[in-house]
Protein backbone atom coordinates (compact mmCIF):
# COMPACT_ATOMS: atom_id res chain seq x y z
CA UNK A 1 0.00 0.00 0.00
CA UNK A 2 2.68 2.54 0.98
CA UNK A 3 4.82 1.45 -1.96
CA UNK A 4 2.05 2.16 -4.46
CA UNK A 5 1.57 5.60 -2.88
CA UNK A 6 5.32 6.21 -3.17
CA UNK A 7 5.30 5.18 -6.86
CA UNK A 8 2.26 7.38 -7.53
CA UNK A 9 4.01 10.30 -5.80
CA UNK A 10 7.16 9.68 -7.84
CA UNK A 11 5.18 9.73 -11.09
CA UNK A 12 3.51 13.02 -10.15
CA UNK A 13 6.74 14.60 -8.84
CA UNK A 14 7.18 16.92 -11.86
CA UNK A 15 3.63 18.18 -11.41
CA UNK A 16 4.22 18.79 -7.69
CA UNK A 17 7.45 20.64 -8.46
CA UNK A 18 5.68 22.74 -11.08
CA UNK A 19 2.84 23.55 -8.67
CA UNK A 20 5.27 24.45 -5.88
CA UNK A 21 7.16 26.74 -8.24
CA UNK A 22 3.99 28.61 -9.23
CA UNK A 23 2.83 28.88 -5.63
CA UNK A 24 6.20 30.33 -4.66
CA UNK A 25 6.13 32.84 -7.54
CA UNK A 26 2.57 33.91 -6.72
CA UNK A 27 3.40 34.31 -3.03
CA UNK A 28 6.49 36.39 -3.79
CA UNK A 29 4.51 38.57 -6.21
CA UNK A 30 1.83 39.28 -3.61
CA UNK A 31 4.45 39.94 -0.92
CA UNK A 32 6.38 42.41 -3.07
CA UNK A 33 3.19 44.13 -4.21
CA UNK A 34 1.78 44.59 -0.73
CA UNK A 35 5.03 45.46 1.02
CA UNK A 36 6.18 48.01 -1.55
CA UNK A 37 3.15 50.23 -0.91
CA UNK A 38 3.70 50.05 2.84
CA UNK A 39 7.41 50.80 2.56
CA UNK A 40 6.69 53.77 0.31
CA UNK A 41 4.14 55.21 2.71
CA UNK A 42 6.33 54.70 5.77
CA UNK A 43 9.30 56.34 4.07
CA UNK A 44 7.07 59.26 3.03
CA UNK A 45 5.94 59.92 6.60
CA UNK A 46 9.34 59.38 8.24
CA UNK A 47 10.87 62.34 10.07
CA UNK A 48 13.60 62.79 7.43
CA UNK A 49 11.08 63.08 4.58
CA UNK A 50 9.99 66.44 3.19
CA UNK A 51 6.40 65.20 3.47
CA UNK A 52 6.58 65.14 7.26
CA UNK A 53 6.70 68.91 7.69
CA UNK A 54 4.23 70.27 10.18
CA UNK A 55 1.04 71.96 9.11
CA UNK A 56 0.47 75.56 10.08
CA UNK A 57 -2.99 74.76 11.41
CA UNK A 58 -2.95 73.28 14.89
CA UNK A 59 -4.47 69.80 15.15
CA UNK A 60 -3.91 69.01 11.47
CA UNK A 61 -1.92 66.27 9.79
CA UNK A 62 -0.12 66.55 6.47
CA UNK A 63 -0.90 63.62 4.19
CA UNK A 64 1.66 62.57 1.54
CA UNK A 65 0.33 62.84 -2.00
CA UNK A 66 1.70 62.02 -5.44
CA UNK A 67 2.43 65.67 -6.22
CA UNK A 68 5.25 66.82 -3.92
CA UNK A 69 4.51 70.54 -4.36
CA UNK A 70 1.00 70.31 -2.93
CA UNK A 71 0.57 70.63 0.83
CA UNK A 72 -2.75 69.31 2.05
CA UNK A 73 -3.48 69.26 5.76
CA UNK A 74 -6.45 67.41 7.21
CA UNK A 75 -7.95 67.41 10.70
CA UNK A 76 -6.31 64.76 12.89
CA UNK A 77 -9.64 63.36 14.11
CA UNK A 78 -10.31 62.02 10.60
CA UNK A 79 -7.44 59.52 10.89
CA UNK A 80 -8.02 56.96 13.61
CA UNK A 81 -7.44 53.23 13.64
CA UNK A 82 -10.46 51.00 13.26
CA UNK A 83 -11.14 47.27 13.42
CA UNK A 84 -11.52 47.21 9.64
CA UNK A 85 -7.79 48.02 9.32
CA UNK A 86 -7.04 44.52 10.62
CA UNK A 87 -9.40 42.77 8.21
CA UNK A 88 -8.93 44.54 4.88
CA UNK A 89 -5.22 43.78 4.14
CA UNK A 90 -5.48 39.97 4.59
CA UNK A 91 -8.71 39.87 2.58
CA UNK A 92 -7.09 41.93 -0.18
CA UNK A 93 -4.06 39.61 -0.22
CA UNK A 94 -6.33 36.56 -0.40
CA UNK A 95 -8.28 38.06 -3.31
CA UNK A 96 -5.03 38.76 -5.18
CA UNK A 97 -3.79 35.20 -4.63
CA UNK A 98 -7.10 33.71 -5.79
CA UNK A 99 -7.16 35.96 -8.85
CA UNK A 100 -3.57 35.04 -9.72
CA UNK A 101 -4.26 31.33 -9.31
CA UNK A 102 -7.42 31.64 -11.41
CA UNK A 103 -5.47 33.39 -14.15
CA UNK A 104 -2.84 30.65 -14.17
CA UNK A 105 -5.56 28.02 -14.30
CA UNK A 106 -7.43 29.82 -17.08
CA UNK A 107 -4.30 30.14 -19.20
CA UNK A 108 -3.56 26.44 -18.56
CA UNK A 109 0.18 26.90 -18.37
CA UNK A 110 0.70 23.33 -17.18
CA UNK A 111 -0.69 21.66 -20.28
CA UNK A 112 1.81 20.33 -22.76
CA UNK A 113 1.38 21.23 -26.40
Residue 83 per-residue DSSP state: T
Q: Are 72 and 62 in contact (CB under 8 A)?
A: yes
User: Can you tell me the distance from the alpha carbon of 112 to that of 106, in angstroms, rounded to the nearest whole number?
Assistant: 14
Q: What is the pLDDT along the chain (113 residues), one digit of tens a residue?
A: 656 665 566 656 677 777 788 888 888 888 888 788 888 777 766 767 666 667 777 888 777 677 766 778 888 888 777 788 788 888 888 888 888 788 777 776 666 54
| Residues sharing a CB contact under 8 Å with residue 94, sequence separation 6 or more, in sequence order | none
- For the whole model, what pTM was predicted? 0.42
Amino acid sequence: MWFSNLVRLHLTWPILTYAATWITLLTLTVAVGSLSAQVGFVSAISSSSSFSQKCRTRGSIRIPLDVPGDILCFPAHMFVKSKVDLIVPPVFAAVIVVASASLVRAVALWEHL
